[in-house]
Structure 1
Amino acid sequence: MMKRASLTPDRIAIETDQEKLTFAQLNERSMELASKLSSQNIRKGDSVSVFMKNSLEMVLLLFSLKHLGAITVLHNLRLTPMELAFQTKNSMSKLLVTDIERVDSLMESEFAKESNIISMDELLQGEATPFPMVKEFQLDSVDTIMYTSGTTGNPKGVKQTYGNHFWSASGSALNLGLYEKDAWLAAVPLFHISGLSILMRSVIYGMRVILHEKFNAQKVNEDIKNKGVTIVSVVSTMLQQLLEDLGEGMYPATFRCMLAGGGPIPLPMLKECEKRGIPVFQTYGMTETCSQIVTLSPEAALLKIGSAGKALFSSQIKIVVDGDCKEAHAGEAGEILVKGPNVTPGYFHDEEATKRAFNDGWLHTGDIGYLDEDGFLYVLDRRSDLIISGGENVYPAEIEAVLMSHPSVKDAGVGAMEDDRWGQVPVAYVVLRGQDVSESEIIDFASQRLAKYKVPKKIVKVIELPRNASNKLVRRRLVEYLPKSDLARGHVHED
C-alpha cells in the first residue's frame, strides 16, 4: 500500500456510496488504524480474524494488518459461532474484529468464552500506539488465511502468501489486459478469494474499486452505467439477475469484462450476453489458487461451450488418471492438477492435509475434468460431490457429520437438488434409529451447527442408503430417493 500511495497518491483507490479515498488517503487511514491495532498488542506474525461485511472499514482493516505484518484470517459471515470457534482456534487468532451489530450475538455465544472480540467501532475509538511498520514483504510469507470445508473432517485453513496474491494479479492482468481507466466493481464478499483478489489487484494495478456491501442487481447495473465500471466479478446466478434487471437495456461500450466463476455459464445465458454485447470471461479457480487459474475468453465462449478456458500465464494444469498420476490423453477424464506461483504452499498447521494435496509441486484439486485437443479445460465435477449453491461451496460430508451427531439419526447422506434461485441446494437423506423425529426438528438441529447455506432444504427419510461393496456411500444414487414431485421442478427458497 505504501508503494502504491507513493506511485499514484491522488488516484481514486476505493469508492462507496458514502465516500471516496485516494491511495494516499487509504494508506494514511490504514496506518492510523494499524496504530490502534498495535494498542491491542497485535504484532508481526500474529493472526487476526476478520468477521465483517463489505465496507470501507473492512478495507482499512485489511491493509492496516499488512502494515503490522499480521496474518489476516477471513471468515464467512454465514458461519455459526461453533464453526467460527473452530477456525479462530485453529488459526491461533489473537483478536477477532467484527461489525458492531454482530458483537452482541457473538458475546452471548459459547464462542466468546475463549475469544478476544472487539467491534470495529470500538477499535476506531481506541488509543493509538506507535508501531514498527513493515516496509518489506517476503513473497513466501503468509498474508491471509481462508478456510475451505474439506470433503472429510474439519475445514482447512488455506495459506495465501504475498507472492500468491502478486502472481494471481499478474496472471489476471496478462490475460484480461490492464487499462488506465479500469474500475472493478466488487459486489462479492471480501471474505471470499473472489472479493479479496479484487482489492489486491487494486493496489498492484493502481485501479479504482467500487465496493458494494452486498449484491443487488439493480444497484450493480446502475453503477455499470453511471460510474465507469469496466469489470465485474459474478457467479452465474448473479449474471442471471443482472440480465433480468437490465431488461432491453445495454451496457456502455466502456464495460469490457464480466468475469464469471462458480461453474459454467448456461448456453442460453451466453447467447443472451452475446446478443447484448456483454463480454463474459468464464473462469475456474479456488481458494487454493488465489482466485482464477484458468479463464475462457469471450471470443472462444461459444466455440468452446462448457469450457473454463486455458491456464493463465505462469500457471499450469494437467489431467491425470489412475493412482500413479499418469497424464491423460486429450478428451480423457481425470483429476485436475494445477501448478504455479499463485497456488497455496499448503494448509495452516495441517502438514498431513498438505502432503495429501501435493505431488511433485502439483496441487490435486479433487475436481474431475478433461482437456480437449486444443488444450481447453472442461470441468465435469466440482470436487466430485461438491454442491454449488448460489456460488457457495457446500460439502456433503460436513453436513453428514453434523446430522449423524443427532441422537435419532443412524445414517445420513447429502446430495444436491436443482433449485431455480440458487442453482443447487443440499438435500439430506437420513436413516433413523427407530424413534421418529420430524423434518423440522432435524433442520433446526442442523441450523444451530451449520451456516445457513449449508443447512439441508429438505429431509428425506429412508430405510437404507445406497452403498457399494466397500460400504462407501454412493452419493450419485441419492437422487433416486428424492420424491418425483421435487425432481420435476426447482424450488425458490428464502434468503
Structure 2
Amino acid sequence: MAYDASRFKDYFEHEFTYDAGFRRNVGRFGRQVAIVDPAAGREWTYAELDAAVDKVSAVLLELGVKAGDRVAYQLYNGVEFAFLYLATQRIGAVGVPMNFRLAAGETAIILADSTPAVFIFDDAVAVDALAAVKTSGSAAALLTVAGGGNGAGAASGVRTLAEAMAAAPDGPQRRTGQPSSYGETTRLYTSGTTGRPKGVSLPSIVEVMSAHDVIMHFPLTPHDRTLNMTPWFHRGGLYSGGPNPLFYVGGSVVPMRTFDPAAALDWVEKYGITFLVGAPVTAGMLADEQERRPRDLSGLRGIVTMGAPLERAAVLRYQKLLTPRIFNGYGTTEAFWNTFLRPEDLPEHAGTAGRACTDDDVAIVKVFPDRRAEPEELAARDNTEQGEIIMRTPKSGFSYANLPQVNEEKFVHNWLYSGDLGTWDEDGFITIVGRKDDMIISGGENIHPVQVEEVLNSHPGVHDSVVVGLPDGRWGQRVVAYVIPQDAGLTADELERHCLASPELSNFKRPRAYAFVTEVPQTATGKKIHYQLARQAEADAAAGLFQKPAKAAGQGAGSGEGQ
C-alpha cells in the first residue's frame, strides 16, 4: 500500500494549533500558577486563566467578531493582554497588539490598515486612542481597560472590558470556523525604524514554532517563571519569555506595566523569577541598579536580551554584576530571533549575536551597488567582509498584510532579507555591523555607526551614543556623535583621544564633533533610531550644538589619517 500523508496533513493543519497546546496545559497544570500580577496582588492558575479566556471570547463573539476578523488592542503588559492573546486564537480571530506609545496619527494608520472589528485600549491612552478612531474612520466596537489612566475612556461612555466580562456567559467558547495551523492568528506591526509600520501576519504554526524555539534555547520548563521587561506588543516581548512560550510549556509570567529596574531586581527573589528578558538597554539599567544596591540574584537561570546589538564590554559587565548566564538573540519582527548567543559562547564570542538557532538558516550575502544578492552569493566567512544578513525559519510570517509589492522585495526564495549588515566567521558566529540604511559614506569609504558607537561606549564616561553622518561638501558626509555622558565633565577632546587610542577604530571613522545630550531616540525595544538624528543633525550643527575637538583633522579616508 502506498504511503498516505493525508492523515498527517489533516492533523497538523487542524489540530496542531497554539490554542490546542494551551488547552492541553490547562488539563496538565490546571492548579499551577500561570500569571502572577503584582499590581492586582493576585495570581491566576491555568484553570482560572482558561475560564477568563472563555469570558473574553464570549465578549468578542457578542460584539460580532467572526473568524478572520481583527481585534486590535493597545495595552500595557498585564493580564488583559494575556486574555486577548489567547481569546482571539480561541475563536479564530486575529489579534493585533499595538504600541501604546504611538501618537494618535500613528495609531490611526494601523487602524485603517488592519480594519479591526473591535478595538480595546488602556484608559491611560484613551485620549489618543479615541482621536485615532475618529481620524481613521474606524467602525470598530470599543472597550477600555482601567489601567490607572485619567478616566477618559470611561468618560466617553466606552464600556470597560471587566464590565463586559462580568456580563458575559460562563463556559467554553469555540471558534466560528475550523481551526487551521496556517490561519493568521496575530498581526504585529513593525517598530518602524526606517519608515511607516508594516503589519507582519503570523499563523498559528508560527505561534507554536516560536514557543518551541524559546523552550529549547533557554531552556524553559513548567517550573520557570519569567519577567519580560519589554512591552508585549513587540515580538521579542510576547514571544521570548512572554506569554507565548510560557503558556505553551506550562510555566508562569509576571507582567510589569512599566519597566522599573529596581522593582525588576526586587521581584527576582520575591516572586521566584528564573529568567529576566529584555533589550540591552534594560539590561544596562539593571546593572546600574545592582551596582547601586546589590540583591541576591542567585535564583536567576539567565538574563536574555534581544532587539539590539549587545556590545562585548556590556556582556562582560552584566556577567560580573548580574549573572554569568547572559544570552542575546538577534532577529526581526518578521522572523523572530534567528541567532542566539549562549553563556557557553562567552567570553570568546562576546560582542557577537551568536549563531543560527536550531531550526534556522542564517547567512550573510554580498552587497552589490546595482542589485540584490542571491542567497548563494555569500560573503566570506572571515569576520571581515560585510554583507546583508538573510534568514529563513519556520518562525517567519513570510508576508506583510496589504503590501504585496514589499513582500516581493523582502521575501525571496523563502529567505527574509533583513536590511541589517554584518560579518560572520567560519563557525557561523554573526557580528552585527549596522543597517544598510544607516551606513555613512565619507571620502568614498563605508562607515557603520555600530562599530564607532561600540568604541565610544567603551569609554567609562559614556552612557550611550548614536553616530550619524552630517552632510559635508568635501567628504560627502562627516561622522558626528550624539553622546549621553555618565560624567558631566566629559569633553570632545577626551573622546577624540579615546578614539585615536583605540586599536578597533580606523582614524577616518572617528567622530569629528560631539553633541552631549540626555537621551537619544529609540524604538520600544531599545533600537536606536539613527535616521531621526541624521535628519536632525544639520539643524543641530547650525544651532551650534556640536562641539569639535581642539585638533580634529579633516574627515575622509583620503585625508592622510592613519598613515
Deviation at 1:273, TM superposition (A): 2.7
Secondary structure of the structure 2 residue equivalent to 1:419 = strand
Greater shift in the superposed pair: 168-177 or 368-377: 168-177
| CA offset digits 1:47-84 (Å, max 9, x no partner) | 01111111212211222212211101111111111111
SS in structure 1 of the partner of residue 67 of structure 2: coil
- 2:280 matched to which residue of 1? 236
Find out whether 1:375 has 2:465 as its counterpart.
no
Q: Which whole-Å deviations, capped at 9, do the CAs of 1:138-188 have from their partners, x for residues lacking one?
A: 222111111125576632101122111211221222222233421111221
Q: Which protein, 1 or 2, shows the higher relative CO under an 8 Å CA cutoff with sep ≥ 6?
A: 1
Shift of 1:103: 2.6
Q: Does 1:49 align with 2:72?
A: yes
Q: Select 1:186's aligned residue among 228, 236, 239.
A: 228
Q: Which amino acid aligns with 1:419?
A: I
Query: Partner residue of 1:284?
Result: 330
Q: 2:168 aligns with which of 128, 149, 161?
A: 128
Residue of structure 2 equivalent to 1:196: 238
RMSD (Å) for aligned C-alpha atoms: 3.3
Compared with structure 1, are the counterparts of its residues 267 and 150 closer, same or farther at alpha carbon in structure 2 (3 Å cutoff)?
closer
Is 1:3 aligned to 2:49, yes or no?
no
Counterparts of 1:32-47 in structure 2, within 5 Å, are 32-47=55-70
SS class of match (1:220):
helix
Give the match for residue 405 of structure 1.
none
d(CA) in 2 for partners of 1:213, 1:31 = 24
Q: Hey, what does 2:343 align to over in structure 1?
A: 298
Given that 1:183 and 1:207 are in contact with CA atoms closer than 8 Å, whether structure 2 keeps it comes out as yes
Q: Please state if 1:307 is matched with 2:352.
A: yes
1:480 to 1:338, Cα distance in 2 relative to 1, 3 A: farther
Contact preservation (8 Å) 1:328, 1:334: yes
Q: Does 1:88 align with 2:132?
A: no
Return the offset for 1:324. Answer: 3.6
Mapped to 2, the partners of 1:203 and 1:460 lie a distance apart of 45
Q: Mean Cα displacement is larger for which, 126-135 or 57-66?
A: 126-135
Task: Quote the Cα distance in structure 2 between the aligned partners of 1:296 and 1:43.
Answer: 42
Q: Using a 3 Å threshold, how does the CA distance of structure 1 residues 22 and 382 change in structure 2: closer, same or farther?
A: farther
Report the Cα offset of residue 46 of structure 1.
0.3
Distance 2:296 2:326 in 1: 13
Letter in 2 for 1:209: V
Query: How far is the alpha carbon of 1:129 from its aligned partner?
Result: 6.4
Is the Cα–Cα contact under 8 Å of residues 261 and 289 in structure 2 kept in the other structure? yes
Picking from 375, 378, 398, the partner of 1:345 is 398
What SS is found at the alignment partner of 1:89? helix
The match for 1:114 is 138
**Aligned letter for 2:381?**
A
Q: Structure 1 pair 153/128, CA: closer, same or farther in 2 (3 Å)?
A: same
Aligned twin of 1:327: 378
Contact persistence 1:232–1:257 (CA under 8 A) = yes
Show the counterpart of 2:415. Answer: 362
Question: Deviations along 1:91-140, whole A, 9 cap, x unmatched?
Answer: 12122101233334433564374343321362332343699603974222
Q: State the partner residue of 1:426.
A: none
Pick closer, same or farther for the CA change 1:12–1:302 going to 2, 3 Å: same
How many angstroms apart in 2 are the aligned matches of 1:372 and 1:482?
A: 43
Deviations 1:265-315 (A, max 9, x none): 33333223333443110110111113x221111121320132100111111
Alpha-carbon spacing, 1:105–1:374, altered in 2? closer, same or farther (3 Å): closer
Once residues 238 and 151 of structure 1 are traced to their aligned partners in structure 2, the CA distance between those partners, rounded to angstroms, is: 19
C-alpha contact 1:33 1:124 (8 A) present in aligned 2: no
Q: Is the 8 A contact 2:398 2:416 kept in 1?
A: no
| Alignment CA distance shift 1:268-1:152 (3 Å) | closer
Return closer, same or farther for 1:225/1:115 CA change in 2, 3 Å cut-off: same
Count of aligned residue pairs for this structure pair = 421
Mapped to 1, the partners of 2:30 and 2:264 lie a distance apart of: 27
CA contact (8 A) 2:398 2:414 kept: no
Contact 1:97 1:119 in 2 (8 A): yes
The residue type paired with residue 211 of structure 1 is P
2:139 aligned with 1:139:
no
Correspondence for 1:400: none
Correspondence for 1:20 = 43
1:368–1:384 CA contact under 8 A, matched in 2: no
> Within 1, Cα distance between the matches of 2:251 and 2:231?
19
Question: Deviation of residue 226 (structure 1)?
Answer: 2.4
Length-normalised TM-score, structure 1: 0.77
The Cα shift of 1:479 comes to: 8.9
1:56–1:149 Cα change, 3 Å: closer
Contact kept? 2:315, 2:351, Cα under 8 Å? no
Instruction: Find the structure with the greater CA-based Rg.
Output: 2
Aligned to 2:476: none
Q: 1:28 to 1:56 in 2, by over 3 A?
A: same
Aligned: 1:485 with 2:547: yes
Residue identity matched to 2:248: I
Q: Which of the residues 475, 484, 487 maps onto 1:419? A: 484
Task: Write out per-residue CA displacement over residues 212-257 of structure 1, whole angstroms, 9 at most, x where no aligned residue.
Answer: 1121011000111222111111222211211121126354433111
Instruction: Measure the CA separation in 1 of the matches of 2:72 and 2:83.
Output: 14
- How far has the Cα of 1:461 moved from its partner? 4.8
TM-score, structure 2 as length reference = 0.68
CA distance in 1, matches of 2:105, 2:203: 27
The CA deviation at 1:205 is 0.6
CA distance in 2 between counterparts of 1:345 and 1:201 reads 21
| Gap change, CA 1:361 and 1:233, over 3 Å in 2 | same
Counterpart AA for 1:73: V
Letter in 2 for 1:370: T
Between the aligned partners of 1:273 and 1:75, the Cα distance in structure 2 is 31
Identity of aligned residues (%): 22
Task: Specify the code of the residue in structure 1 equivalent to 2:85.
Answer: L
Which residue in 2 is equivalent to 1:223? Answer: 267
Aligned mates of 2:432, 2:130 — CA distance in 1: 43
Q: Contact 2:112–2:136 (CA<8 Å) still a contact in 1?
A: no
1:97 aligns with 2:120: yes
Partner of 2:516: none
Q: C-alpha separation between the residues in 1 aligned to 2:261 and 2:250?
A: 26
Provide structure 2 residue ranges, at least 5 long, that are not aligned to the other structure: 1-21, 147-158, 440-448, 454-465, 469-478, 487-520, 522-527, 551-563
